[in-house]
Structure 1
């Protein structure tokens, strides 16, 4: 284990050693701590794309950020420039924009290490708080996705007409203001700061970190790094997103060429032998191997025996990126048919391939059509062909799996086959939600024991499904063998 890994494990061990219960607080700064970069830049890009941000405002915001923020007054000026962009908009408009930006841009930048720390605190029953000087439009979508119930943020003033005035409402939680807000929150929620934790990356947060017994400087600025050294606070640098290089662009192109070439070759050989299914299986395995080899991605699989011992089955996987498709090919090798949303039928990269694989395409907006589309999938299961499906129905912006839909579980119940959860730990780190470039690395996969659904009923289905989802959360937070 490398030294940074040791330091991160020290943070996890400190959480594990802490008392259980809500009286222990865990306060996380947001920008640069939970996510890489700054959420405000996603909003600026959005406004530029929609031509509703004046160039002078953009330059003013960037110039103030580049010059640095030395105190609360500097921050207030910087904030004022940003908030004036929103003047005249309704809170509902900003909430809609914030949710979309989190899903498409901000969420995929969540540090895996921060996610694991947040999960560790939640599992201990601690009171977890995102404490940020950003607005609720930036912070609350993240809190909801991460399962965090509490937020501290800069409130915005709402005029009598129900629109934003472009001014903050009260003191922003920045510098001493954040420390004051944390103390106020702790008093209101019976949180013991002498047993609590705080994490931040910025030098302005020294007063905030000093409010708790267990502060930690993560991804620290030069100012915070120096302050942490003086105070003997733990310092940990998280793994950032890899840079895209021309080599990776070329490798990604080779990846998809290898996938299609390998699949076509395997399918052709199978058809020559007189078996379409044998061709599909050979093509899936060969295409998966060639694509992973070209991309520089390898698989580290725990519990692989559950794949072969449990077929036919409904294989579930937590969906974070297009890389998942390549991983499935290399992992399962064949003898499966996918179930996917109908939009993927026309996907440039995978649409043609998925049609060849006899995918059941589901219209998520039409329940009657969805049930009808699943009928062939039930027949395939009964005939011995496994089904692969992402129960969330879409890619998750963070490592936290979204709410599981019922279709996959109805399939297993109707066909009388088990469910086998496939937990992908870091496909989103090597290829984020909307990315087109694959970065080389190791994808970790945990194949969990099959789930017998023979005694499941419609009455207890919601509870059973959430139980499976909790298996994913527990596995992601406590990886087998670590």
Structure 2
């Protein structure tokens, strides 16, 4: 089974909240073991004692073949949290999710969770980890229900002990059965997803188990029981190949700048220079990085100019993708910090970009005023209404600036939906991965009759349009 088949199964299957989708966390929603990020954070902060380090290494070498092994492992791991408040651990979990764990999120898992949510299903994350390790991810994914290994808390402070049974092997299966009974879930029509052989009992709690990124044990079990097997693209650390491709891509951008400037001088045209830089730079850099761009609705990028092109912002790769799609006659609005970027700063200034101080609303509004004139003179504008890059594929709240500009200039808003850019270059990453980025240029939105008093309602509708497109990608 591939991801498209898995999504189709959900979309065409039974709908409604009595159907649930239970997702394991580590290895299923995120690549690798999220607990390592918490341990490394403490290790780098000098908070891991020699005794704890030795115990962790011994338990790691022993492995976790039985529930007794796992209980021994978590006893050591969670003992280190003794004396910490719940509030402190939630804050650590949020920080680590934003800085590292979000970059290991499988885009396919997010799509699958979104498909279940759109089907009205009750979505649940079930993990042997603590709540503090998975809550930030659940919030980012819009998942309300979380099953986790409970830790003992007294007056808001952890004792370092497990409060009951860990959610590993039979513990996770028992917790899932209890949730099904408590919430009136139709188990035979529900879904379970996991990657580990220890979760065979958990997977069997519903009528639609799926071995997701299975290890060797689960792969064998799934084949024996004729369960579907679903594999996501690995999200491990980029290697030498990615480093070489990244260097080549940046070199391609630099080379395109000089080529474009040369063509501009020959033709005595700033426009020729700028268009050449955009066209050559995007084509060459993406090709050298091994990134293909697959565009839906490409005609919408050409037929309604000038326009305000808005896009969902996940990656520093986004401007290059937009240059690839739009080709010419556009400029951008970006944060003021980009003005001092050694590579993109001079290029953005040459392109006539507007730099906005996101921390000062009054100055930001003043900076946007000339953009209306730019549009009236025939040059389109690109802007990310979220205002910043998102660490996950989820759509963040849109700000009003892009829409106000379009209303004042009386030009359409053209939504550009980007899928997979974060997979090629995550928010906190510096190395590009090869692959295919999907871009959908949607039909223009006429804002000529919009009123400021109704702007919030209109913007909410546009946000919903992005969410729908990302979870149900257009095929034509």
Partner of residue 264, structure 1: 258
| Equivalent-residue separation in structure 1 for 2:248 and 2:288 (angstroms) | 6
The offset of 1:252, in angstroms, is: 1.4
Q: Taking structure 1 as reference, are residues 481 and 155 closer, same or farther at Cα in structure 2, changes over 3 Å only?
A: same
| Equivalent-residue separation in structure 2 for 1:118 and 1:459 (angstroms) | 34
Of 196, 213, 237 in structure 1, the residue corresponding to residue 231 of structure 2 is: 237
Q: Taking structure 1 as reference, are residues 55 and 343 closer, same or farther at Cα in structure 2, changes over 3 Å only?
A: farther
Matched, 1:283 2:249: no
Matched, 1:169 2:163: yes
> For the Cα contact (< 8 Å) 1:306–1:449, is it kept in 2?
yes
The offset of 1:39, in angstroms, is: 0.9
> Which is worse superposed, 262-271 or 328-337?
262-271
TM-score when normalising by structure 1: 0.93
| Equivalent-residue separation in structure 2 for 1:466 and 1:168 (angstroms) | 43
Partner of residue 175, structure 2: 181
TM-score when normalising by structure 2: 0.94
Matched, 1:436 2:430: yes
Q: Residue 127 of structure 2: SS of its match in structure 1?
A: strand
Q: Residue 214 of structure 2: SS of its match in structure 1?
A: coil
Q: Taking structure 1 as reference, are residues 407 and 72 closer, same or farther at Cα in structure 2, changes over 3 Å only?
A: farther
Of 407, 411, 418 in structure 1, the residue corresponding to residue 405 of structure 2 is: 411
> For the Cα contact (< 8 Å) 2:34–2:133, is it kept in 1?
yes
Partner of residue 387, structure 2: 393
Partner of residue 357, structure 2: 363
| Equivalent-residue separation in structure 1 for 2:301 and 2:71 (angstroms) | 56
Alignment of 1:76-475 (within 5 A): 76-160=71-155, 162-241=156-235, 244-271=238-265, 273-475=267-469
Matched, 1:39 2:9: no
The offset of 1:49, in angstroms, is: 2.7
The offset of 1:216, in angstroms, is: 1.0
| Equivalent-residue separation in structure 2 for 1:76 and 1:460 (angstroms) | 56
Partner of residue 21, structure 1: 16
In the alignment, structure 2 segments of 5+ residues that lack a partner are none
> For the Cα contact (< 8 Å) 1:265–1:283, is it kept in 2?
yes
Q: Taking structure 1 as reference, are residues 311 and 189 closer, same or farther at Cα in structure 2, changes over 3 Å only?
A: same
The offset of 1:399, in angstroms, is: 1.8
The offset of 1:349, in angstroms, is: 4.0
> For the Cα contact (< 8 Å) 1:242–1:439, is it kept in 2?
no
> For the Cα contact (< 8 Å) 2:31–2:236, is it kept in 1?
no
Q: Taking structure 1 as reference, are residues 479 and 66 closer, same or farther at Cα in structure 2, changes over 3 Å only?
A: farther
Matched residue count: 476
| Equivalent-residue separation in structure 2 for 1:230 and 1:273 (angstroms) | 69
The offset of 1:411, in angstroms, is: 1.8
Q: Residue 157 of structure 1: SS of its match in structure 2?
A: strand
> For the Cα contact (< 8 Å) 1:252–1:437, is it kept in 2?
yes
The offset of 1:63, in angstroms, is: 4.1
> Which is worse superposed, 93-102 or 263-272?
263-272
Q: Moved runs in structure 1, 4+ residues, more than 4 A?
A: none
> Which is worse superposed, 29-38 or 342-351?
342-351
Q: Residue 386 of structure 2: SS of its match in structure 1?
A: coil
The offset of 1:34, in angstroms, is: 0.8
The offset of 1:182, in angstroms, is: 1.4
Partner of residue 52, structure 1: 47
> For the Cα contact (< 8 Å) 1:44–1:58, is it kept in 2?
no
> For the Cα contact (< 8 Å) 2:375–2:409, is it kept in 1?
yes
The offset of 1:37, in angstroms, is: 0.6
The offset of 1:273, in angstroms, is: 3.5
> For the Cα contact (< 8 Å) 1:28–1:200, is it kept in 2?
yes
Alignment of 1:57-76 (within 5 A): 57-76=52-71
> For the Cα contact (< 8 Å) 2:104–2:236, is it kept in 1?
no
Q: Taking structure 1 as reference, are residues 10 and 261 closer, same or farther at Cα in structure 2, changes over 3 Å only?
A: closer
> For the Cα contact (< 8 Å) 1:342–1:363, is it kept in 2?
yes
Q: Taking structure 1 as reference, are residues 315 and 60 closer, same or farther at Cα in structure 2, changes over 3 Å only?
A: farther
Q: Taking structure 1 as reference, are residues 399 and 382 closer, same or farther at Cα in structure 2, changes over 3 Å only?
A: same
| Equivalent-residue separation in structure 2 for 1:435 and 1:382 (angstroms) | 37
> For the Cα contact (< 8 Å) 2:21–2:122, is it kept in 1?
yes
In the alignment, structure 1 segments of 5+ residues that lack a partner are none
